[in-house]
Amino acid sequence: KLNSTVKVKGEGVTEEQEKTFESAAGNIAVTADGNDTLNIRLNKNIKGIDSIQTKEIHLGTPDNYTTIKKDGDRIKYG
């Protein structure tokens, strides 16, 4: 609605990290429903990412997948 306050919160970055923050543009869509809701959607085909840090990756579907993870100095498939 016009002339109203909208607060958006997240886990974001610190003020210091914000100075060097680089986004991966084109991956998030924000649309207003015309009333009081902002819809935030993440693209299922992420692009422009230079690195991702995680413990393991599941490739496939929730019922049928392969796991890839670091095991010491080796990559383990399971």
Tokens 């383990």 locate to 76
Termini Cα distance of the chain: 51
Report the predicted TM-score, pTM, of the whole model to 2 decimal places. Answer: 0.61
The predicted pLDDT at position 1 comes to: 60
E-only strand ranges, 1-78: 28-32, 38-42, 56-61, 64-71, 74-77
Contact present, 50 and 30 (Cβ < 8 Å): no
Tens-level pLDDT at each residue, the chain (78 residues): 667 787 777 788 899 999 999 989 999 999 988 888 889 999 999 999 999 999 899 999 989 999 999 888 888 877
Q: What distance lies between CA 52 and its chain's CA centroid? A: 10
Distance CA 56, CA 1 (A): 43
